[in-house]
Amino acid sequence: MTARELVVLGTASQVPTRQRNHNGYLLRWDGEGLLFDPGEGTQRQMSFAGVSAASITRICLTHFHGDHCLGLPGVLARLNLDQVTHPVDICFPAAGREFYCRLRDVVPYFAGLREQPVDATGAIPLPDTAFEFEAIRLDHRVETFGYRLIEPDGRRILPDRLAEFGISGPDVGRLQREGSLRLPDDRVVTLDEVSTVRRGQRFAFVMDTRMCSGVAELAQDADMLVIEATFLDTDAGLAHEYGHLTAAQAAQVAQAAGVRTLVLTHFSQRYADLEDHRLEAAKYFDGELVVAEDLMRVPVPTRR
């Protein structure tokens, strides 16, 4: 089977701790490697996690606060050093282009970089992808976007229905390609009659934001939602002041959106023990709940 999993490279918000590196998340999706928010130390964490630079095909920055982007020069340098030959798309808020250029130009330019500045909510035209990719504006202290990956729906063939019509062998492939098949008795069978919709999978990434409509829109029907839970509800005032979510808020939006696997991350250094984050989120979310740890691997749940 092809691999779809999240490799957690770092989980710290603002200040790294002895146990938590700055942000960094690699989504392995079939042959793609989408690196989200490479904070300081990401290149070293990649080594610990067994992630090669050659596996990165896209880089996505939510915003230009240091804990989400200061690892970019090291990653670009590694792409250059390892002589990665495939192009790498990089998505970033267009309003922060000045900061992006400073980070990019710290190291020798990686020739394969394709810039995809995001200046409005909507689809991002990434080339050569088998999925749709979009950015949605969030509510932080600087312009910030969340990202969502959407796999198109497919079809699941129903063997019992094929048997009813006596369809087998090469005719099955012909029916799938052409959408219909004429039988020897002149009946026409359509693909809809022998299959059902196989819903495409969805992944959402939400960082550094107050609660807003964009959070709910990104999370809707996600098979996996990776979302910041910087604070606990006891510090909800601080969360709102500094543009963040609490574990309870993240869990509530996930429950309402029908999320299957909820991954909490981006924890303030004020919390040494994250068990309270788990307990707080579990009050509101009854799906698979993961409190992220550095170097953890979380599989994208299989299709329903």
Q: Which residues contact 80 (CB under 8 A, 6 or more apart)?
A: 107, 108, 109, 110
Count of residues making up the chain: 304
pLDDT at position 121, please? 83
Helices within 82-126 (DSSP H only): 97-104
Q: Is 277 annotated as a binding residue?
A: no
Over range 108-125, report the average pLDDT: 92
pLDDT at position 1, please? 41
Split at pLDDT 50, 70, 90, the class of 2 is low
Cα-based distances in Å from 82 to 7, 76, 110, 289: 21, 10, 11, 36
Residue closest to 181 by CA, chosen among 165, 196, 197: 165
* Model pLDDT for residues 86-108, shown as the tens digit of each residue: 999 999 999 999 999 999 999 98
Cα separation, 25 vs 292, in Å, equals 10
Cα separation, 109 vs 114, in Å, equals 12
Catalytic residue among 30, 37, 67, 82: 67
pLDDT at position 248, please? 98
Over range 51-56, report the average pLDDT: 97
Considering the entire predicted model, what is its pTM? 0.93
Q: Is 86 annotated as a binding residue?
A: no
Cα separation, 144 vs 189, in Å, equals 49
DSSP secondary structure code for residue 231 in this structure: B
Q: Is 244 annotated as a binding residue?
A: no
